Each structure stands twice: as structure tokens, then as C-alpha cells.
Amino acid sequence: MSPKHPNLKKNNKTKSYTYGDEGGHDHDEHLEQTVAPRDTSGYQRTLLFSFLIITGYMLIEAIGGLLTGSLALLSDAGHMLSDAVALGATLMAFRIGEKAANHQKTFGYKRFEILVAGINGATLIIIALMIFYEAIKRLNSPPEIATQGMLIIATIGMLVNILVAWLMHRGSSNSGTHGHSHGADSNKSAEDKEPVNLNMQSAYLHVLSDLMGSVAAIIAALLMMGFGWVWADAAASVIVAILIIISGYRVVRDSVHILMEGTPVGVSLIEIEQRLLAHSQVQKVHDLHVWSITSGLNALSCHIVVDGDMSISEASLLIAELEQHLQELSIHHATIQVESLSHPQTKAHSEALVCNISERPIGTSGGHLGHNH
């Protein structure tokens, strides 16, 4: 049973419903609005400033590492290079993500950000393995290092990373809010629970790793100057590599979770089910799916069972009310199928909250994967 009349259109601002073209807007406009979780202009400004600072000092640190012979400086410069690439790619991802949804990309291009994050994470792991390899070689035959120059450059690098980390933290805290309006109260609640953007979080972790790498290089330089421990440079490089691997793993893990349509972190299916069942007109909930389109933009689809005498107009108003409740649970785009309790196909349906979409019904007509209609 489909709850929506073909000509029934919803007005997002008032939650009223109209027929035909009166008081409505076209579907493509509505689709574009539903996939705009927040204004990313603040993120983009922060990324641009951070990119320029990181890139500029990365060149200085790389030249300094070559002149002093310090692997710690070279490895930290390599990490800063990966950060610069990650920041540039993330900025590009935000720009591409602003493209409107179309008939080929119905959710828009926002998942491009997640693809970029996954590639960034994998690149970080590769760089870390290369640093490990070079560090082992240097432990076996330590080269001569200009420790004073290494100390000066690493100290400046630490200050640069502190500045960039502050910019990233400030930019994330002052980010824009979700742009799809479902009422003032819902927006307020959604803002209170707004999750951290995956790319911004990964970039911030990268910068913190750089900061720790600079500190490690300073400690290594002091140890070599004070005690003559030439192995300290390689040891500092290993520490930086470990930090890079941790950052890379976290980004890859979170990216894969989103690409695998995993339930968003902080979202509970049980809590969603209870919130839907709390409505007096909803008798059952099943076939519930919740996933992230990109960081901070969660989508939901489910079936709800209601009394068989409910009209299409009543079902539409019920869906509007449920959408408002779901906004409070950080669900920004919901597709709800309304079913009659008395319908024979509803009785044949599995009542499992989570369905197995790979199972195809046998011997039934009008069925599709995972559902028996």
C-alpha cells in the first residue's frame, strides 16, 4: 500500500499537503534540499587556510631535512605532504558535494567526500610503511645529522602545527548547520547532536599527528645533542609512523563503514523503533534500514503497519509527524512505507526489525528482494 497520492505534494515549511502544482515545488528541488546537511563554507575556509600553511612549511621542512640529513624531519615533511594532499582533496570533495542531485545521482555527489577520505587513509598507511622501512635501515647504519638545524626546523614545525590544529578545531566548532528544515524545534535538536564531519575529523587527527611528530623530532635532536644517541632520529621516525598508521586506520575504518551502508555511529535502531511505535497510529515497524549518505547526513527507510481504515491523506500527515520525530534522532531523510494491518500480504511479511534483502520470495507475485508484496 502506498500512502502517497501521485499528485500529493508536501510543503516543507508548513508541513501542509497540496494537490497538483498548487503551493508545491518540483521533485528535483525537494531532492536537492534533502541532501544538503549543512553549509560547508566555514569548513572550506578553514581547509584553504590550513592547506596554504601546511604546504608552505612542508616545503621548508623537506628542504631542511635534506640539508641536515634528518629522517625525522623528512618523515614529518612526508606526513605534512599527505596532510596537504588530504586537505586539498577534502576541499575539492566539499566543492563537488555541492553539486545538485540529478536523475543519475539521486543523492547528489556528497559521498565523494567519503571516497576521498578512504583514499587519504590508505595513502597514510602506505607512507607509514615506507617510513618504517627507512627507519630500520638507519638503525642499522645511522648517518651523520646536523642536530642544531634539525632542532630549529622541528621547533618551527611544532608552532606551525599548533596554529593549524587551532584553526581546524575552531573551524569545526563554528561549522554551519544542517540545511534541511523540518521545523524550529527539530533543527535545534539536530544541531545539538550534530556529528563531526569525517573529513574534518581526519584532517584534525592528521594535524595532531604532525604536532606529535614535531615534538618527537625535537626530543630526538635534544637526545642526540645531549647524549650522542644517534638512533634517536630513527626512533622518532618510528613514533611518527605509528601515529600516521593510527590516523590512517581510523579514516579507512570510518569510510568503509559508511560505504558499507553501516548504521551511523550514535544512532540506535531500537530507539528509532521505540520512537515510531510511540505514535498511537503505528502498530508495528519492520524492514528498518538506517545509513549515512555522507558525514552528518543520515537516511532511513522502513515499513510501518497501521489500521486498514486509514486514508491516504491521514497516512501522509502521519508520515510528516514521524519525520519530525526522526529529525530529533539525527535522521535527515526518511522514506516510510505505510501498510495495512489487515492486508494479506502484510500478514505474510516477516516482522523482523532488520530484514535480509538478499532473500527472494518464491511462488509469489509482485515481490521484490527481501519483501513479500
Q: What is the per-residue pLDDT across 186-198, written as a single tens digit (0 to 9) for each?
A: 444 444 445 566 7
The answer to whether 128 and 234 are in contact (CB under 8 A) is no
pLDDT at residue 87 above 60?
Answer: yes
Nearest to 312 by CA among 320, 302, 324, 300: 320
Compute the distance between CA of residue 81 and CA of residue 128 in angstroms, rounded to an integer: 12
| Mean pLDDT, the chain, integer | 75
Among 56-60, 77-81, 121-125, 156-160, name the one with the lowest average pLDDT: 77-81
Dump pLDDT digits (tens) for 262-301: 999 889 999 999 999 999 999 999 889 999 988 778 999 9
Given a cut of 50, is residue 130 above it in pLDDT? yes
Taking only the tens place, the pLDDT of each residue in 30-72 is 444 444 445 667 778 888 888 888 888 888 878 887 887 777 6
Query: In percent, how much of the chain has pLDDT > 70?
Result: 73
- Amino acid present at 185: D
Q: At 10, give phi and psi (nearest 5°).
A: -105, 135
Q: What is the mean pLDDT of residues 255-265?
A: 91
Residue 221 has pLDDT above 80, yes or no: yes
Inter-residue contact 17 to 316 (CB < 8 Å): yes
Q: How far apart are CA 29 and CA 22, in angstroms?
A: 15
Average the pLDDT over 232-242 and give the result.
84
Q: Are 277 and 322 in contact (CB under 8 A)?
A: no
Q: Which residue has the cell 566543492?
A: 95
pLDDT value at residue 181: 41
> What pLDDT is attached to residue 124?
79
pTM of the full structure: 0.69
More confident residue, 74 or 338: 338
> Once rounded to an integer, what is the mean pLDDT over residues 322-332?
91
- Collapsed DSSP state (helix, strand, coil) of residue 367: coil
- What gap in Å lies between CA 80 and CA 82, rounded to an integer? 5
Q: Is 342 strand, coil or helix?
A: coil
Q: Which three cell numbers stand for residue 4?
A: 502517497
Q: Which alpha helices (DSSP H) does 183-311 contain, by range?
A: 184-192, 198-227, 232-259, 269-277
pLDDT band at 102 (very low <50, low <70, confident <90, very high): confident
| Strand pairing class (284-294; 17-19) | unpaired
Of the chain, the end-to-end C-alpha distance in Å amounts to 9
Q: What local confidence, expressed as pLDDT, does residue 174 receive?
A: 59
Q: What span, in angstroms and rounded, lies between the C-alpha atoms of 373 and 360?
A: 11
Closest CA to 58 of 88, 41, 38, 78: 78
Indicate the burial class of 20 (C-beta count within 10 angstroms; 0-12, 13-18, 19 or more): exposed
pLDDT of residue 370: 47
Taking the C-alpha atoms of residue 243 and residue 78, their distance in angstroms, rounded to an integer, is 13
Give the closest residue to 323 by CA, choosing from 274, 276, 283, 261: 276
284-294/297-306 β-pairing: antiparallel
Cα of 153 vs its chain's centroid, Å:
34
